[in-house]
Amino acid sequence: MDGAVTELAAREQSAVNATTLAEAFRRTAAERADEVAIRTKGDAFTITWGELRARVDALAGGLAKLGLGRGETIALMLSNSPEFHLCDIAAMMLGATPFSIYNTYASNQIEYVVADAGARVLICEQQFLAQVLEARHGLPDLEHVIVVDGEPPQGTIALSDVEGTNPGFDVDGSVAQITASDVLTLIYTSGTTGPPKGVQLIHRNLLAACEGLEELIDLPRDGRVISWLPAAHVAERNAHHYLPIVYGLQITCCEDPRQVLSYLPEVRPSWFFAVPRIWEKLKAGLETMIAGQPDEQREAMLAAIAAGVRKVRLEQAGEPVPADLAEQVAKADAEMFAGLREMLGLDQVEAINVGAAPTPVEVLEFFHAIGLPLAELWGMSETCGAGSVNPTGKIKIGTVGPPAPGVQIKLDADGEVLVKSDVVMLGYRNLPDKTAEAFTEDGWLRTGDIGVFDDDGYLTIVDRKKEIIINAAGKNMSPANIEAALKSASPLIGQACCIGDRRPFNTALIVLDPDFAPAWATQQGIEDTSLASLARDERVRAMVQAGVDEANAKLAKVEQIKRFSIIEGDWLPGGEELTPTMKLKRKPIAERYADVIEGMYAR
């Protein structure tokens, strides 16, 4: 009986049952004081939860001395570094609202979000300082710019000169004043349909999201994650910042997101979340590696993967798997796939997820076949990234799963996905009209996504409501699904943008994969492997055409791509064509490539 009482008391004092993220941090830091909280590759830097709390408290006092307090905002423009977690948590201890700026933002964009948030303090790195100081000219209320590294120029402050300057500050007293309904952070939308909107997320929102995820994933005591997505995106903040605070997960910082796959073998994460493009590149990389094997090994591996895919398709269809096929796949798993998983660094994952955009079915099937049950999930900034997720062991490929624990989802008359839950935002900052438009009269969030439910209650997202293509004949189509088919049909295709709204047929702008295309070209004896040159090469065009033909074979006639143009160059995250999370900026693309698009229809 005493043991049961002690266990209950411990559970009540755990971070999971905290009422604010600030309180959750205090509890986790006390419980795991000697465990490593944050590290960098090769343990070049490590800090325990106890050491982190000491530095957080020292910085919180210094920020309070500068005038930062409860309800005020503070801007962060930092890479995926230990300093991000330190600064964000320190501001959190004051009841302030830290928010992150995309590192790709130009000075005018920085100026917009800092002014909208009303931030009087901004913390950044030297590499972003030029843009910040340019933006500062238009920000008369921005009183302090704090630099975390290097020598701070005149008019700015070094982080080391803020930390520890107010030793008598009562951090615990400050934390006690914070409530579950205080604004924890702002997530500025990517601005694909206009100026960014500041999504206000309160402490209760993120705690509800963390609790729901824990119900789906049994994270181990020594759980590990990699911080690598932009901190301005809700997925990064939730998965690699707030979730570790609540559950004591060890964070490894990956400052260059292009290197994240190289971090996997060292970290061996317990949970790994990535956007579709990462999984597509990982699949292409494995296929390239297999293609370079001697004939006998290559053929054996391809046959094993093909068998694995057959088994996955039968299981997904609810059909029995023949004993000989099951035996073949089991043997391949022991002799080949287990080694692949270990090589990738994904041999200790409890769950792996993909989201933020549609993922080609072929990519999902491939990873399931090699023993990595990749599961799609769906959410948005306005729901803390939570919404629906395929539960481990009950994944339905092609769906984003049933509603997450604590989330209600229903469809409006036109198929729009509506959400009600504790994870739903407070509203948009300074935009009462936009906030009102985002909700139905009875309080359901309008997501802007069109979805359908199957008989088992699993949700499939068809497309964004505003992005549905309606061609000249009045046929409705999902450009995202068409683009996913194109990218999965050929590893040469890195990005694809389907054009067809109010047009007689569909065309596509295609960008070559910057990693695979040059490697393939070298194998073909092509000397100039620059993307610009390859875009004009007829051999490349022929291979892309073969991929388009393969994709068309899987699409309805009205959806098929009749003509395409290969863009001479790359589309980069945060650039003119892609958001920082690699979603297409359709309007800017249509404007920038208007002549190319019109040329495809004029031929």
| Closest C-alpha to 237, from 387, 110, 76 | 76
- Full-model pTM: 0.84
Q: Give the model's confidence band at 13: pLDDT under 50 very low, under 70 low, under 90 confident, else very high.
A: low
pLDDT tens digits, 353-411: 998 777 888 899 999 999 999 999 999 899 998 899 999 889 999 999 999 999 999 99
pLDDT at 8 over 50: no
Residue 353, strand partner residues: 273, 375
Contact of 201 with 185, CB cutoff 8 Å:
yes
Q: Give the model's confidence band at 155: pLDDT under 50 very low, under 70 low, under 90 confident, else very high.
A: very high
pLDDT at 594 over 80: yes
Phi, psi values for residue 73, rounded to 5°: -105, 150
Q: How far apart are CA 46 and CA 40, in angstroms?
A: 7
Determine the average pLDDT of the residues in 66-74. Answer: 96
pLDDT tens digits, 450-459: 899 999 999 9
Q: Give the model's confidence band at 194: pLDDT under 50 very low, under 70 low, under 90 confident, else very high.
A: low
CATH class of the domain at 469-602? alpha beta
The full set of domain ranges for the chain reads 11-274, 283-373, 469-602
Report the mean per-residue pLDDT for the chain.
Answer: 91
Structure-token match 């490349």, residue found:
540
> What would the two tokens of residue 186 be?
């702002």
pLDDT at 11 over 60: no
The predicted pLDDT at position 106 comes to 86
Determine the average pLDDT of the residues in 233-249. Answer: 94
Reported as type and span, the H/E element at residue 61 is helix 49-65
Q: How far apart are CA 302 and CA 318, in angstroms?
A: 24
Contact of 498 with 512, CB cutoff 8 Å:
no
Determine the average pLDDT of the residues in 328-347. Answer: 95
In terms of phi and psi (left: phi > 0; alpha: psi -120 to 50; beta: otherwise), the region of 535 is alpha
| Closest C-alpha to 511, from 489, 487, 484 | 487
pLDDT at 192 over 60: no
Determine the average pLDDT of the residues in 236-260. Answer: 94
Contact of 385 with 419, CB cutoff 8 Å:
no
Pairing outcome for strands 351-354 and 375-379: parallel
Contact of 33 with 47, CB cutoff 8 Å:
no
Per DSSP, which regions of 144-303 are E strands?
144-147, 157-158, 183-188, 198-202, 224-227, 250-253, 271-274
The predicted pLDDT at position 9 comes to 43
Question: What share of the chain in percent tops pLDDT 90?
Answer: 69
Nearest-5° Cα angle at 217, 211 to 222: 95
The predicted pLDDT at position 191 comes to 58
Contacts of 478 by beta carbon, 8 Å cutoff, 6+ apart:
462, 463, 467, 468, 469
Do domains 11-274 and 469-602 share one topology? The answer is: no
Reported as type and span, the H/E element at residue 112 is helix 107-117
The predicted pLDDT at position 3 comes to 54
pLDDT at 5 over 50: no
Nearest-5° Cα angle at 234, 344 to 256: 45
The predicted pLDDT at position 2 comes to 55
The sign one gets for the Cα dihedral 13, 18, 23, 24 is: positive
Contact of 263 with 52, CB cutoff 8 Å:
no
The predicted pLDDT at position 288 comes to 83
Q: How far apart are CA 191 and CA 391, in angstroms?
A: 31
Who wins on pLDDT, 470 or 379? 379
**In angstroms, what CA-CA distances link 178 with 43, 62, 285, 372?**
34, 19, 47, 41
Residue 236, strand partner residues: none
The predicted pLDDT at position 360 comes to 82
The predicted pLDDT at position 6 comes to 44
pLDDT at 12 over 70: no
Contacts of 318 by beta carbon, 8 Å cutoff, 6+ apart:
none
> What would the two tokens of residue 394 be?
């009950």
> What would the two tokens of residue 345 be?
């660094």
Q: How far apart are CA 519 and CA 291, in angstroms?
A: 12
**In angstroms, what CA-CA distances link 268 with 78, 341, 352, 354?**
25, 10, 12, 17
Determine the average pLDDT of the residues in 62-80. Answer: 97
Q: How far apart are CA 352 and CA 103, in angstroms?
A: 26
The predicted pLDDT at position 7 comes to 43
pLDDT tens digits, 531-586: 999 999 999 999 999 999 999 988 878 889 999 999 998 998 778 888 776 788 88
Q: Give the model's confidence band at 468: pLDDT under 50 very low, under 70 low, under 90 confident, else very high.
A: confident
Q: How far apart are CA 93 and CA 70, in angstroms?
A: 9
Highest mean pLDDT among 190-204, 205-219, 333-347: 333-347
The predicted pLDDT at position 311 comes to 96
The predicted pLDDT at position 243 comes to 94
User: For the domain with range 11-274, which CATH number is right: 1.10.3720.10, 1.20.59.10, 3.40.120.10, 3.40.50.12780?
Assistant: 3.40.50.12780
pLDDT tens digits, 17-65: 899 999 999 999 999 999 999 999 999 999 999 999 999 999 999 999 9
Determine the average pLDDT of the residues in 195-223. Answer: 88
pLDDT at 517 over 60: yes
Contacts of 382 by beta carbon, 8 Å cutoff, 6+ apart:
199, 424, 425, 438, 445, 447
Contact of 267 with 222, CB cutoff 8 Å:
no
Q: How far apart are CA 522 and CA 540, in angstroms?
A: 12
Q: How far apart are CA 37 and CA 39, in angstroms?
A: 7
The predicted pLDDT at position 36 comes to 97
Determine the average pLDDT of the residues in 520-535. Answer: 91
The predicted pLDDT at position 473 comes to 73
The predicted pLDDT at position 193 comes to 57
